[in-house]
Every structure is written in structure tokens, then in C-alpha cells.
Chains A and B, each alone.
Chain A
Amino acid sequence: MNRKLVSMVTVGALAVSGAALSGCASSSTKSGGASKSAGAPVHGGNLTIARAQDAKSMNNILTFDNSSIFIFEQIMEPLFTVTADGKATKPLLATGYKVSADKKTYTINLRKGVKFSTGKEMTSADVKFSIDQDTKHASTGWGFINSAIQQVQAAGKYTVVIKLKHAWAPLIADLALFSNAIVPNNYDGKTMAEFYQAPVGTGPFKWGQWKRGEYLKLVANTGYWQKGKPYLDSVTWNVVPDSNTRKLQVQGGQADIDEYPDWSTFKSLGTGSNVIAKTFPSTELDYLAFNEKKKPFQDVHVRRAISAMIDRSAINKAVLFGNGTPANSLLMPGVPFYQKSTPGIMKNDALAKKELAASSVPKGFSTTLLIPSGDASKLSTAQIIQNDLQQYNIKVTIKQLDPTANHNAQQNMQYDMGLSAWTMDIPDPDEWTSFAIDPDGGAKSAYTNYRSAEAIKLNRQAQQSVDHSTRAELYNQLQDVVAHDAPFAFLYYAPYAYGVSDKVQNFNVTPLGNYPLTDVWKSK
């Protein structure tokens, strides 16, 4: 169990319709980790990654956990991919696209001479099959992301035409999602289950061997369409559940990358001569959710008071050891339309007293705080919040449940306050805003039952408006409204943390959490 289990990358069920997107919003988080390039890349070597959990399945259409996604992204490539700053898309297996006047037909040109690891060349038939397969699995998989697609046609050998039901700006971002990655037509005659036992793609690496619970190994795809890449011979993900052991393995040279170091030992990880403690800007927001179905959380004053009591910098110092930044808004710095100036409530004793006095429970009350067990950061955060609220005579009992039971309690609204987190999958805010503030968005406003007509109106408008600047204005207003209504107390933005051996070059993690290994190489 670890933090990643909770903030796993998944997507809300709401169909997304919105204006064309662009990546001009500036990013304010400190971007670290651009490793110094040490001369020309060296070919060869095996990259060993020590991780907390084993992958679950290679089926890119039905799988939601990070451990699996990070692996099959190295095998199967989509038409487009995310830029390094995670804010925009760039062509990958496609070379470009044209949009019809009514914005409902997209003509996409494919890159020529791209071969699958089996040697078969990628054509439009493969692209049509791959996208249609994803669309078919909407109820239990990622298919809902293609809900706006009417039809996919293979116009020529290297051109694909996509017809939409209605104007749909984020199409290209959707096509960049791993669930729309390109696989051989009809899975080369295998059934879906058989195919995903040893998936075939056009990516830099191809299937090696998987000893479940122990390690998973991919080997370099020598026929990769980007000549001369990948630099590595193979990549092995070892399952090492204990954080200390992962750290010792990286320091001992038995592993090159610790995929999930503990914050508590993160700084000391770097003190070792051969290991660099790297942080990458993320789209992770950790927040405290109030269940408005339970008294007294339907009272905005109570929510605002509590939000003002929480010492976010203390949490950042004690839990993230200074690596995070206090969160001021619903959106995260790594996401387009994030408004830096959103007046999110921060620690403010005067405000807390004022709001509490104006609330329905001025003398305080007793309540519970639900957290997933086995997560050291959440446990510490909960105890700090408990201590902060204690000063105002709000008695908090911490309730720990194992992650699945915790999630079940949230879904059934059987909690008072709960600690949760969210990371984005595609570079567009709507996925999170709909999940978080739209009660009919399928998740009862992230299980808070928050219902604000104004917020819902703003969010709906933002989805449909095509013009970038109007969308920006709408999202700014939305962030202000949510900051005022405080359905959540935003706690902190936590960067992604990796322990990387100094022999590993060009290792970068995008704000959406994945790390392409195409350009990674190991100096001797």
C-alpha cells in the first residue's frame, strides 16, 4: 500500500466536450530533474527499476493502475503524445492532422514505415481497429474518453478520418491517451486475452518476461521506427514492497531507479554518492473532503473555518519535508487554466474564529477523519489536522481502513471528513472539474455532495466554449467560487519523487506521471 494506490491515474466517466485546447498556461512549480547531459548517449545496458507494486495487466483498454500503465506505454504508442511539460500534445505515430470547418471531421496522416515489433507495418486498418476497440469498452474501461467519436474510417493506407458527433476540442488529447495506443489489427488473430499476455506494439520496447510478484522485463525493439533508439538493451521492473529496501538497492547499485521513495528518507537518498533525489512537477492535488450529507458540514462556515485552521506549511514540512507547495486552488499548477491568484483559504486564525463563530456549531463538535491505512504521509497529515482542529475544540477521531474499504466507504458516503488525492490523465482540466464539483458528474462531487448552481453552470460553459480565452476566464471564476465555498480544504501540491542513480541520463517524468524511456541511457 502506498500513496500511489490512492492517487492512481483514473478518469471520471463524464463525456468531455470543450473548446480546442492549448498549452499556454505558464507552469509555476519548480521544474527540477533535467539531468545534466553527460556526453553522447551510450548504447546498451539494462535499466532496473525498483517499484512498490507489481503491474496487474498489460491490457491498455481495461487497466487503471499506474504500475501497469508505465509499462505498457513503453510497448504500445498512440498517434499523438504529451509534450515534456505535460500541457500540450505533439504528433508521434501520426505526422499531423487537418480539421474540417465545422470542427467535426479530423483527417490524420500516419507516419510511414512504422513497423510493429513483429515486423508488420502499421497501416490505417490497425489505427481504426485500435480506436474502435477502445470505444467499445466504455462501461468498464477507458472507452468513455472516445464518446464524442462517431466513426473512424481508414481513408488510405496512411490516412485516417475521424467523424465526431459534435465539436470536441480535446480529441487530439484523447488520442494521446494510452488506451488509444495502436495495436495490430484483430490482435494478429489472437483473442484479446491471449494478445495481452504478450502485447505487440510499435514502441521502443517489446515483451520480455513477467514473473508475477517478482519482476517484469521488456527488451529493446530493434526494429523501432526512431532509428538508433532505444539506447537501453532492456528494462526490468523489480517488485520491492519495502521503501527502505528500495532505497538500499539504489544506493547499493542493485537498482537504477527507486520509483517510489518515502518523503521521510528522500533527502537522505541524495546524500549517497551515486544517487540523485529528483522531483518532477506533477498534477497531484491532496485535499480534505467534507461530506455535506453529514452534519455540520453542510454549513459553509464550518467548512471555511476548518480550512482556515489547517497549517498547510507545517504539513508540507513534516510530511513532504518541504518538497511540496501549499495548495490554493481546485486546479493544479501542471494543468492548463490553473489560476495562481485563486484566493484559496490558508491558515488564518482570525478567519477561523470568525467563521466558527458565525457557524451553526460555534462551541465545536466531534467528528471522524477517514484515511487509507498503510500510508505514512496520510497518517501524519491526519494527525496534524487533528491537532490543529483540537485548538478550536473540534475533537477529531482518525479512522483507518485498508485502501479498498476506504474507497468503498467514500463511495457510499459513510464518512465525515476524508483525505484523498487526484492526478490528471490528460492535459485538460475538465476531467477533474466535472468529477469534483458536478454532483451529476458520476461521483457526487467527489463524494462531498457539494451542489453549487453557479459552479455547475460555469463548468458546463467551460466544457462547451471553444475560444481559449473565454475558457480561461470561466475556469478562473470557477476556481474562485470553489475556493469560497470550500467543499474541500486544498492541502498541498506534491511533486513526483524518484531516486535515480547518477549513471541514468535523460530520465524525465511528465506532469501526468508517466516516463517515456525512449531517450534514456546509462553511462558506464
Chain B
Amino acid sequence: MSVVALSRTVEPLLSVQHLTIGIPSSGGGHATLVRDVSFEVGPGVRYGLVGESGSGKSMTLKAIAGLLPRGVEVLEGEIHFDGDDVLTMSPHERRRIMGPRMAMIFQEPMTALNPTTRVGKQIAEGPRRHLGLSKADAQELAVDMIRRTGIPDPARRARAYPHELSGGLRQRIMIAMALSCKPALVLCDEPTTALDVTVQDQVLRLLAQLCDDMGSALTFVTHDLAVVSQTCSRLSVMYAGRIMEEGNVREVYEAPQHPYTEALFQSAPDFDDPGRRLAPIPGLPPSLTDPPPGCPFAPRCQYAIESCSTGSKPLVEVRHRHLSACDLADQIFGGTR
């Protein structure tokens, strides 16, 4: 699937090209979790990866961070960060950029922190290793970072152990940790899913504001359409390991160009129109070991026609910097604006 050369405004910070991830099982067909995914994130840009569970969004993020679980490998594609392909880097080189250039925030705050070490020390670890700070300076930086995340009495909190903090506080600590070395790109793997709604909102605001302060770009993986709309400026909608639609958040929300995106919106409640009946998407996502030919959403798509289940269904720019993998996009969603 070839990528349509988008008009480039500035050198992209992160460029994912034809990424394919799978589990090379010795037995029969190996499962492909992510197939031929490409996208770019410019410096300071906040980019969202949206999709249901099993859509491969989290696996893509882990591939970028180099944290793929055992047994899962990148089969094809390149991931360029700051111009170099991280996949070809040696583990040593890779470790040198993790922290100062690229950082990550995980989903489960309850287990993401080392239970046996004080949180202050865990935040200070990155700066000490990468910025060569002394123990005292690094501890001081950690306390400062905690203060910037809005946690009261940061000096005392720095001496606390993870199990002594609430989920929300711990996620703030994670943010402080990730941003302690002022990374160029922060990868977030559903950072607020485990939090309850009120805390979630504060954390998202904090994350956005800190990223702006530090000029860090964001790659935000979530299943929550509302979270994306609040946090990101540009997004991709993924389904069964492939990108269905990519575009600016405002444009995609107002005029989705792919039946799956539209179905997603249908199945989510709408604050402005509380009376609307929710329409769940019929059927099940395709199996990963033998994906259906053509468009993976065809079997569940209300507009599906014969040709949908054949062909490679590449991402095509149907509107200005707004791509869709559906051949019938124009017919279904009307002409260009």
C-alpha cells in the first residue's frame, strides 16, 4: 500500500512507514496484529491513535518504544525518529534515546511504578542517567517535576512509596517521570483509562499543558473518542490492525470519511442529543490469523458492496490532508467540501 505524499509543512519528528507486526508462530499461519500502518507526527503535534480493543493501536505504540512483548516481532516497515530508523538501532543506542528524546506513560498506574522504591527516586533515575545530574540535583528536579504536576507538598510526596498514593496521583507521578528529561515525543498508552472520569479530566489537562510548556509531541493511544477530541489535533482510526481513516480531529468528527468511523460515532452516546438510540456495530472483528481479503470492515459494513471485499484498499486523500481507506468514501459521504 503506498503512502500518498502529504504536503509537508515541517520535518516530521516521528515517521512510521508500512509497519507490520505479528507473532511468527512455528505452527501454521502466523497472526498479524498490525498490517502496513504508516503515519507521521510533527514536533509539538498531539497525534491520536483510536480504535477498539485488538485494533493493534497499543502494539504499534509498543513497537515505537521498543517494548514489544516476548514472541511479538516487527515483520516489516520502518520507524524513523529524529531521522534515524529506531528498528535498526542497537539496544545501547535505543536506550540512549529512551528518556531524553522519547518517553512513555502506561495505562495501569497501580503496577507501572516499582513497588519497592520511593517515587522521587524513580523520577530522578532518568535525569541522573541521561542528564548526568548528581543525586541531590536529580532529587531536586524530581520534586520540582512533582510540583509542576500540581501535587501538593511535593517534597513529602517524593518520599512516598507507590502503594501509598492513589491512582490519579500515581499517574501524575508517571507524567512527571516521563517529562523529567523534556522528551521530544511522549507515547501514551491509554493513560487515563484506569482513572475515574473526574481525575481523568484533570490528568489530561495537565498532560496537554505540560507538553505545550516543553514543546513535546504526543502520540496518544485510546479507545475513547471523547478523550481524543479533547487532547489531540490529528488522529488515525484503526481497525483490525489497519488505519481506516486519518485526518484532523475536527474534520474527522464533523465529516467522517469511512463507514467504520461513522459507525463508531453512532455507537457512542451524544451529550447534545441524549435521545438518540445507540446503534451497536453488528458482528465481530476479524480473526488475526486469516484476515478477510479487501476491506476488513466489509463484513460488518452497512454500505458494503461486492468490490469492497477485493483489492488492497489503500489510504487515499479524499479531502485536504484527510485520508480514508474506503473506495466508496466519495459516494457515501458526498463530494469534497
Complex: A in contact with B (CB within 8 Å) = no
- The chain A residues found within 8 Å of chain B, CB to CB, are none
